[in-house]
Amino acid sequence: MNLVERIKEKARKSVKHIALPEGDEPRTVAAAKIIKDEGIADPILLTKEQIEAPSNKTKLDAYAAALYELRKAKGLTEEAAAKLVADPMYYGMMMVKMGDADGLVSGAVHSTGDMLRPALQIIKTAPGMKLVSSSFLMECPDRTLGEDGLLVYADCVVNPCPTAEELAHIAIASADTARTLCGIAEPRVALLSFSTKGSASHALVDKVREATEIAHSLAPDLALDGEMQFDAAIVPEVGASKAKGSPVAGRANVFVFPDLQAGNIGYKITQRIGKASCFAVLQGLAKPCNDLSRGCSVDDIVSTVAATAVQSR
Ligand code: ACO
């Protein structure tokens, strides 16, 4: 069974309510039917017409009032809050915030930033989490790589330029995603760089080294190492020669990129040249909300909704 099938299987065990703010977008409508028919989740298709219908006014007013309370310190007026909640994206976020939905999936139409901003502003980070980031779950045809062909890449979506401390938190959150969503019992985390264990000197390398130290101190039991080049992280012979004795080198299954440029480029190379199938999840939010690529297929939406349902358990 591949990763997506395993995630769908998990999702079916406890049916969650997932808001879909792009409720009149054809791929989303088709995906919702599959999700419902296959018992993966209870999809809630949201449209502007339905939100603004007179029968929904009490709910709309309640969400507007709650959004105003949440954001008034940031300068949001009552008038602006009322206007925002009529937007299905904000309405969906408020459903999740208020416990009327367990999670949200969007992005077939909206850009990543337009989906992320309301999630960060309304849902916010989970208690104890320093920041929101993402993991890309990459399934490669070559099963000798990573964990039986499964590689977790982070952060390829959210944080353009993480500090060393933020990178450390991304590493720990990604290990947790590997465990809980991918079923990887022993995450082995490599913090990637263009240097392996001091082979090059540069401030960018220092940042990754510092991030490794911070992550070690925050999660001493996690198998984690850096700084490390990608080949040293993934090829056993290269790992053995460049980072002798490392618990991670040559057999990493979680790969933390030093910034968003590297991460985003890296996942697309693996997808396009390595022919890996992939999808992303956000990690660190108080409740799960996930983004789609605007080029997504119906199957991508089904997989992402299944993953969101599993994250909400
Ligand atoms: N974790 C938690 N909260 C955050 C984070 C984070 N990583 N980043 C921002 N925030 C919070 C801020 O604290 C702020 O909260 P507040 O309003 O309550 O004070 C709120 O989010 C907005 O922050 P801004 O800095 O004003 O938001 P910004 O306009 O910079 O947008 C965003 C943040 C959307 C995440 C931005 O960093 C971004 O655009 N990232 C890249 C997205 C992207 O294009 N990814 C690549 C494509 S995706 C793909 O290829 C699959």
Q: Are residues 120 and 164 in the same domain?
A: no
CATH of the domain at 90: 3.40.50.10950
What is the rounded distance in angstroms from the CA atom of residue 266 to the CA atom of residue 27? 27
Query: What is the C-alpha separation between 219 and 249, in angstroms, rounded?
Result: 18
- When divided into structural domains, the chain yields a total of 2
116, 242: one domain: no
| Domain shared by 174 and 113, yes or no | no
Cβ of 154 less than 6 Å from ligand 1? no
Is residue 159 located within the same domain as residue 265?
yes
pLDDT for 266-291, tens place per residue?
999 999 999 999 999 999 999 999 99
What is the DSSP pairing of strand 133-139 with strand 150-154?
antiparallel
Strand order in the sheet with 42-45: 42-45, 17-20, 103-106, 289-291
Nearest CA to ligand 1 atom 46: 157
Residues 17 and 82 in one domain: yes
Q: Are residues 35 and 152 in the same domain?
A: no
Q: Which of 172, 147, 168 is nearest to 258 (CA)?
A: 168
Same domain, 199 and 94: no
* 1 has pLDDT over 90: no
**Maximum Cα–Cα distance for the chain, whole Å?**
69
Q: Is the CB of 294 under 6 A from ligand 1?
A: no
CATH number at residue 174: 3.40.50.10750
Through-space distance between the first and last CA atoms of the chain, rounded to whole angstroms: 21
Q: Which of 71, 74, 75 is nearest to 85 (CA)?
A: 71
Q: What is the mean pLDDT of the chain?
A: 97
Residues 189 and 298 in one domain: no
Share of the chain above pLDDT 70, in %: 100
Decide: 307 and 313 in contact? Cβ < 8 Å.
no
Shared-domain flag, residues 137 and 273: yes
| 221 shares its domain with 92 | no
Expressed as residue numbers, the domain containing 260 is 133-278
Residue-wise pLDDT tens digits, 101-120: 999 999 999 999 999 999 99
Residue 134: enclosing H or E segment and its boundaries?
strand 133-139
The answer, yes or no, to whether any atom of ligand 1 lies below 6 A from the CB of 173, is no
Ligand 1, atom 34: closest residue by C-alpha: 113
What average pLDDT does this structure show over 219-225?
A: 98
166 and 117 fall within a common domain: no
pTM: 0.95
Mean pLDDT of the region 301-310 = 97
Regarding whether 140 and 19 lie in a shared domain, the answer is no
Measure 291 CA to ligand 1 centroid, in angstroms. 13
